[in-house]
Structure 1
Amino acid sequence: MSLLNFRKPNAPPRHPALGSFLHGYSIEVMPRTAAKVADFRALLPEGTRVYIAHIDGTPIEDMVATAKRLAGEGFAPMPHFPARLIADQAMLADWIARYQGEAGVTQGLILAGCVSEPRGAFDSSMQLLETGLFDASGFTRLHVAGHPEGSRDIDADGGEAEAMAAARWKQDFSDRSDAQMAMVTQFAFEAGPILDWASRLRAHGVALPIHIGLAGPAKLQTMLKFAIACGVGPSLRVLQKRALDMGKLLLPYEPTELAAELAARKATDPGFPIAQAHLFPLGGIKACTDWATAHGGVATRPARRAI
């Protein structure tokens, strides 16, 4: 199956399990990219969960305005809460109040953040969760980050043991939280490392549903730039190998083969903790949603889901 063959949006899925894997997919945007979209309803299935990435330097006002807009267009905004950008508990409480008061937000992605040194009292997602503010504010869904190929922050200090201990802590927190929890992963380019990591989580007693990050269609040069910046691990070799092939260098990458392999595992092992796909539209939101639709992403669905 070629990675390079795009299908028209109304074409059937290429793999019998791929449509099920993409059903209910989520997608990630930034305020500045969202501002370029005239109407998300022309691109996304009804009720799609839209993560709003909080990049260092983005004003909270822009984040809240984006969440308000998405909610108004019928989507479920899930803003990032990056621990290392939050000065203290008062700032966290203020952010939560703004999101809820202006945009009706009841879900968030809780993560360490993209800076190496904390700007205040918090260094990890666990510290944010331990404040109890999300449960006290009635958040119904809390997602945490997963790193199938490792995290530069964790691997530098404690490696696999520390990563699994953190995942186990998040599982324990899920057991005592009123919110539904799941783990959403950084994107990668090979199924093997993702599946091995998910198996290790299960062996360590971590049963959180996993939302697998997929990099949406993009030029190879664009994909390499984002992959290096985001700390993608050994599966980066997939892109590097393609970059050496002059016949493919100028052709776009799309995640069809990777998604099909993950979908097949999900279909054949119902107990495996892969829940659904989460899309990073690195080559543009429309290219990403067109790809999802072409491979089985549904046109409409209920706004509330129990995944």
Structure 2
Amino acid sequence: MRPLVDLLRVPRYEVIPTPAIAQAILEATEPGEVTITVTASPVKGLEPTLALTERLAGHGYRVVPHLPARLVVDEVHLKDVVARLKDIGVDDVFVPAGDADPPAGTYHGALDLLVDLTEMGRPFGQVGITGYPQTHPVIQDDIVVQSMWDKRRHASYLVSNLCFDPVTLTRWIHRVRARGVELPLQVGLAGPVDRTRLVTMAAKIGIGESTRFLGKHYGWFLRFAAPGGYAPERLLGRLGPTLVAPASRVAGLHVFTFNQVAATQRWRTEVLNRLTGPPAR
């Protein structure tokens, strides 16, 4: 159980930049306890992501903002964003392609932006890219794996998108490693999500944006709603051998909180206590 305990001690919590989320994070966690990753909205753009990153960094949190390529206008815009993040001490960014359609400017995919970051002298010590254990909604699997290969020289770690099937996730990890992609992996994991609160949160992120969110993740809702359908600790248990295998190169857990930070933190504490015993008083 030791490797799993280590993974649970230093997780990444992914959040959506809504008006109330900063206070929720401050109330539920402590700086240095978790890393906070901040998503970006194709409707609202990068500004809410950057503003939340600045606020949390000011409180001493390690923050990883998402920089979707399709939300960056051009190289000048990219340089401005980089300078803004470097000014507050950010040294880790996550670069997906993003869902903006049409794109905000000249970047149509993550690779072009990653190349420009490299040509800027690699301003961030850590750069993450996306992996898709389950079929991407619009891109063929072979192209997705090839894309990881193409981006590996410009990235330092890989984050897997949500997958609820341990067999599928294990096969994907084996395939990625067999392809020669050796980037350390942050395994994407849904936290203990309450479906009713998830719907409420989705409604708060804006008309249009909430429709996109609910539509894109409809399958997740079915998982969360089914009686006994999903429990994060059960998935972790079934993934145990894969998580601890050296060949998997699993470096951490990337927990999708859906802004239910307090519930996620309680769950993590309870699991750690079961594995290690409650802290001494």
TM-score normalised to structure 2 length: 0.81
The answer to whether residue 168 in structure 2 is matched with residue 193 in structure 1 is yes
Match of 1:212 in 2: 187
Q: How big is the shift at 1:17?
A: 5.0
Hey, what's the Cα distance between the residues in 2 that align with 1:237 and 1:85? 27
After superposition, where does 1:140-155 map in structure 2 within 5 Å?
140-154=125-139
CA distance in 1, matches of 2:251, 2:11: 10
**Alignment-derived partner of residue 161 in structure 1:** 142
In the alignment, the residues of structure 2 paired with residue 202 and residue 56 of structure 1 have an alpha-carbon distance, to the nearest angstrom, of: 31
Q: Which residue of 2 aligns with 1:258?
A: 235
| Structure 2 unaligned residues grouped into runs of 5+ | 203-212, 277-281
Q: Any stretches of 5+ residues in structure 1 without a counterpart?
A: 1-14, 175-180, 299-307
Hey, what does 1:171 align to over in structure 2? 152
Give me the whole-angstrom Cα distance separating, in 1, the residues matched to 2:241 and 2:19.
32
1:271 maps to 2:221: no
Q: Kindly indicate whether the alpha-carbon contact (under 8 Å) linking 1:18 and 1:296 is maintained by their aligned counterparts in 2.
A: no
1:69 Cα deviation after fit: 1.9
2:95 equivalent to 1:118: no
| 1:153 positional shift | 3.0
- Out of 292, 296, 302, the position equivalent to 2:272 is 296
Cα deviations across residues 166-216 of structure 1 (Å, max 9, x unaligned)?
111122334xxxxxx111111121111111111000111011111111111
Report how far residue 151 of structure 1 moved: 1.5
Q: CA RMSD in A?
A: 3.0
**Contact 2:16/2:258, CA 8 A, preserved across alignment:** no
Larger relative helix fraction? 2
SS in 2 for 1:136: coil
Deviation sequence 1:30-55 (CA, Å, 0-9, x none):
22165452562642462522111111
Find the partner of 2:115 among 130, 135, 138.
130
What is the CA deviation profile of residues 223-250 of structure 1, one whole-angstrom value per residue up to 9, with x for unaligned ones? 6986852486xxx69728x63xxxx2xx
State the distance in 1 between where 2:28 and 2:119 align.
32
Partner residue, 1:10: none
Indicate which of 270, 282, 287 corresponds to 2:258.
Answer: 282
> Which residue number corresponds to residue 107 of structure 1?
92
- Using CA pairs under 8 Å that are at least 6 residues apart, name the structure with larger relative contact order, 1 or 2: 1
- Which of 56, 74, 77 aligns to 1:70? It is 56
Question: Residues 152 and 183 of structure 2 are in contact (CA less than 8 Å); yes or no, is this contact kept in structure 1?
Answer: yes
Matched residues, percent identical? 26
The Cα offsets for residues 6-51 of structure 1, whole Å up to 9 and x where unpaired, read as xxxxxxxxx6653233231101112216545256264246252211
Alignment partner, residue 56 of structure 1: 42
Aligned to 2:103, the other structure's residue is in SS state coil
What is the rounded CA distance, in whole Å, between the counterparts of 1:57 and 1:38 in structure 2?
Answer: 23
Residues 1:229 and 2:216 are matched in the alignment = yes
- Match of 1:98, SS state, is helix
